[in-house]
Amino acid sequence: MSRRPRITVFGTGYLGTAHATCLASLGFRVLGVDIAAGRIAALEAGRLPFYEPGLEPLLRKGLRSGRLGFTTSYPSAAEFGDVHFICVGTPQRPGAPGADLSQFEACFAGLAPLLRRPCLVVGKSTVPPGTAAGYAQRLPVIAPAGAGAELAWNPEFLREGHAVADTLRPDRIVAGVWSDRAEATLRMVYAEPIAAGVPFLATDPATAELVKAAANAFLATKISFINAMAEVCEVTGADVLSLAVALGRDPRIGDAGLRPGLGFGGGCLPKDLRALAAGAAELGAGQALSFLHEIDAINGRRRTRLVDLAREAAGGRLEGRRVGVLGLAFKPGSDDIRDSPALEVAARIRAQGARVAAFDPAAMDLARRVHPDLDYAGSVLGAARDADVLLLLTEWPEFSTADPEVLAKTVARRTVVDARHALDAAVWRACGWDYRAPGRPGTARARGISDDLGTGDSGTPDREDDGITGTGDAELSQAAVACLAAAS
């Protein structure tokens, strides 16, 4: 293919919309395709149907340039495109751990019979191991173009809230290809990031699809590892924040993904972890990944532990108590409430008879639809009003900078549970708050190394700034380093 390929992107969720918009910004002609007419109409009008910082202006720019368009028509898309990216959702099957590939199957089955000229179909959705090979066999049989229609796999690694940056400058581009032609085409699509130094890793499709699943499983494992250590900290009196900093300083471990707290949620990590374990088991490699069930279980325990902490903080019962909740999205910078730890904790506390007033900067509308039983406040102050206990469940920056002195005047009792370690414990305590956080001693401080965390204790009056980590922390650090290094 000598001219610039024309591109279609099937599925206009976070991934597909970001991919289509970013490729248009790089000068490609791009058509986004979806069966949801309402979504396509919104995108055509320059409106994002979800929250993603920085994406809407780029979408409007693409539309204005005439290079970016949207359609519900598969025949138009098949006629238009040289490279067809499939970015549809692969959610968890209802009531089962495996992936529901019905959207992928419907997209493939709708597109393949329309492919009359040479083209590349590129799977981008996250799928269980072994998926690409099956579709690669079927494609030339179903497509009128025969062997001219080829399959490749090119997983995405974008994080919600960072979709534009992660799409334009990913850490790496992984291209799973069966032919030089497919590799050359993908190199053309990604010429700009490759020229900017992004590594292009060409491999076979079976490996490419597994890279994505394995990356998510590894990230989830890291998060659950530090959260499991938080459980140990709670029985030894060690401090999980100091521990995380000390672990992260080992270059073999690194500090990314070691933020302890309420654990992982969202539309990717939890379901991809389960789909990988279930897929491997179906292929006879279940034992190899049986540890992923424990990773999932540790993650689930965080939510239970937080409800318990809230109950303890509320004086031993939740019934009749007023609980202020800060944060509902599964992470800051997103309105996504899929498998959100924050929303689940809020709902469980409500189910135990507490009155819950919640505030989130972005996720209120979506949360209200799923949980009309919660009260929704218009601000941090509104959520805190008359609260017996205040919970920070998602670490939005505006929560970390909230003034504990001002909040102290609005709550009924100055008790805060900081599930994400986002508040400055010393400052809050200095304002008379009973500050609690999972994995942290009730009275001890993260000493000496806590500045590294950015959000931890920092040079405040009641801090014991002796530059020495407590003995319990150091012992546990060593044990944890050895354990994680052995696992990796």
Catalytic residue positions?
A: 268
The single residue among 331, 338, 371, 414 that binds ligand UDX, judged by CB under 6 A, is: 331
Q: Which of 25, 103, 216, 477 binds ligand UDX (CB under 6 A)?
A: 216
CB 286 within 8 A of CB 280: yes
We find the least distance from the C-beta atom of residue 301 to ligand UDX, in angstroms, to be 13
Question: Which of 124, 122, 125 shows the shortest CA–CA distance to 136?
Answer: 122
Does residue 228 touch ligand UDX according to CB under 6 A?
no
Cβ proximity to ligand UDX, 159 vs 301, nearer residue = 159
306 alpha-carbon distance from chain centroid = 20
Q: What are the Cα distances from residue 291, in Å, to 34, 184, 207?
A: 37, 38, 21
Q: Contact between 263 and ligand UDX (CB under 6 A)?
A: yes
Compute φ and ψ for 9, nearest 5 degrees. -130, 110
Member of 107, 114, 219, 480 binding ligand UDX (CB under 6 A) = 219
Residue 345's H or E segment, with its range, is helix 341-351
- Three-state DSSP at 415 gives strand
Smallest gap from residue 280 Cβ to ligand UDX (A): 19
Which residues, 6+ apart, have CB-to-CB distance to 9 below 8 Å? 16, 19, 20, 23, 30, 31, 32, 33, 85, 87
Q: In angstroms, rounded to a whole number, what is the distance separating the alpha carbons of residues 212 and 127?
A: 9
> Sheet of 200-203: strands edge to edge?
68-71, 30-33, 7-10, 83-86, 119-123, 149-153, 173-176, 200-203
Stretch that binds ligand UDX, among 47-55, 87-95, 265-273, 467-475 (CB under 6 A): 265-273
Would you count residue 268 as binding ligand UDX (CB under 6 A)?
Answer: yes
* Single residue of 10, 70, 80, 157 touching ligand UDX by CB under 6 A: 157
Residues forming a β-bridge with 83: 7, 120
Q: Residue 190, interface with ligand UDX (CB under 6 A)?
A: no
Q: Residue 152 or 342: which CB sits closer to ligand UDX?
A: 342
CB of 487 to ligand UDX, least distance (A): 16
Q: Given the rule CB under 6 A, which of 115-123, 135-143, 194-202, 216-224 is the region that contacts ligand UDX?
A: 216-224
Smallest CA-to-CA distance from 477 within 238, 214, 210, 293 is with: 238
Q: Is 422 in the site for ligand UDX (CB under 6 A)?
A: no
**470 near ligand UDX, judged by CB under 6 A:** no
Q: Per CB under 6 A, which of residues 12..41 are in contact with ligand UDX?
A: none
- Alpha-carbon gap, residue 304 to 284, rounded angstroms: 33
Task: Out of 160, 209, 335, 344, name the contact with ligand UDX by CB under 6 A.
Answer: 160
Nearer to ligand UDX, 163 or 384 (CB): 163
For the bound state, the minimum distance from the C-beta of residue 329 to ligand UDX, rounded and expressed in Å, comes to: 9
Q: Report the run of H or E that residue 121 belongs to, with start and end.
A: strand 119-123
Q: Calculate the dihedral angle through the C-alpha atoms of 217, 281, 102, 185, rounding to the nearest 10 degrees.
A: 60
Of positions 158, 277, 422, 453, contacts ligand UDX by CB under 6 A: 158
When binding is defined by CB under 6 A, the residue of 98, 257, 286, 472 that contacts ligand UDX is 257
Residue 266 binding ligand UDX, by CB under 6 A = yes
Among 159, 301, 348, 385, the residue binding ligand UDX under the rule CB under 6 A is 159
Based on CB atoms, which residue is closest to ligand UDX, 216 or 477? Answer: 216
Q: How far is the CB of 15 from ligand UDX (least distance, A)?
A: 8
Q: Which is nearer to ligand UDX, 266 or 448 (CB)?
A: 266
Name the token pair of 174. 């992984």
Query: Which residues are bridge partners to 174 per DSSP?
Result: 201
* Residue 397, C-beta contacts closer than 8 angstroms, at least 6 positions apart: 332
- Closer by beta carbon to ligand UDX, 69 or else 327: 327
133 class by beta-carbon count within 10 Å (0-12 exposed, 13-18 middle, 19+ buried):
middle
Binding of ligand UDX at residue 85 (CB under 6 A)? no
- Partnered with residue 278 across adjacent β-strands are none
Nearer to ligand UDX, 219 or 364 (CB): 219
Interface pick for ligand UDX out of 28, 70, 264, 399 (rule CB under 6 A)? 264
Residues β-bridged to residue 176? 153, 203
> Within 10 A of 154 (CB to CB), how many other CB atoms are there?
25
- Interface with ligand UDX by CB under 6 A: which residues? 156-160, 216, 219, 223, 257-259, 261, 263-266, 268-269, 330-331
